[in-house]
Amino acid sequence: MAQNAFNLFDTDFTKYADFSKFMDAGKMAEMFKLPGFDAKAMADSQRKTVEAMTAFNRVAYEGGQAIAQRQTEILREAVDESLKAIKELAEAAPEQRLAKQAELAKDGYEQLLSNVRELSEIATKANQEALDLVNTRVTTALEEFKSAMNTSAAKKK
């Protein structure tokens, strides 16, 4: 059987490319120089985009944590209020229980609306902050792209 001259597993790929350049965006950009294209600026722009997405994820995560924490607090408060209501109903005279139940239901409904409103405000604030980060980065990236195109066009003249 003939021996194959090319064995993928025995190949030393360092002979074909300097892979140390892949660790540095600037060096990598130099490897792929194209006329009128600033690869280093493009790499810097992409780095900024990754940083913005990281900040977006952090803000979104913190917003989720704030909502979960507040929901836990609301649950504790609801359990405490329920225990208090049960005790009040048990101690109330039979003729007062119906009025007391209506009062507790009204108070519970008002508290529910207040809690939903509060949770919505927390979510809205976190979403707005996260979207502001994305909007700022997209606007900046478009400006960077426009500037790079203008620079490229100026070099061609």
Eight-class DSSP state of 34: B
Instruction: Spell 71-109 as b/e; 16+ CB within 10 A means b.
Output: eeebeeeeeeeeeebeeeeeeeeeeeeeeeeeebeeeee
For helices 39-91 and 94-156, angle between their N-to-C axes, nearest 10 degrees? 180
Please report which confidence band the pLDDT of residue 24 belongs to, taking 50, 70 and 90 as the band edges. Answer: low
Domain boundaries, the chain: 98-148
Whether residue 4 has pLDDT greater than 60? no
Mean pLDDT across the chain, nearest whole number? 82
pLDDT tens digit string along 75-107?
Answer: 999 999 999 999 998 998 988 999 999 999 999
pTM, two decimals, is: 0.64
139 pLDDT exceeds 60? yes
Per-residue confidence band for 17, with pLDDT thresholds at 50, 70 and 90: low
Q: H-helix or E-strand containing 15?
A: none
pLDDT band at residue 61 under the 50/70/90 scheme: very high
Beta-ladder partners of 37: 34
Residue 40 and residue 25 in contact, taking contact as beta carbons nearer than 8 Å: yes
Question: In degrees rounded to 5, what are phi and psi of residue 5?
Answer: -75, -25
* 37-57 pLDDT per residue, tens: 677 777 888 889 999 999 999
Instruction: Specify whether the CB–CB gap between 48 and 145 falls below 8 A.
Output: no
Closest CA to 63 of 114, 117, 124: 124
Give the Cα separation of 90 and 73 in Å (integer): 26
- List C-alpha distances in Å: 91 to 81, 85, 156: 15, 10, 89
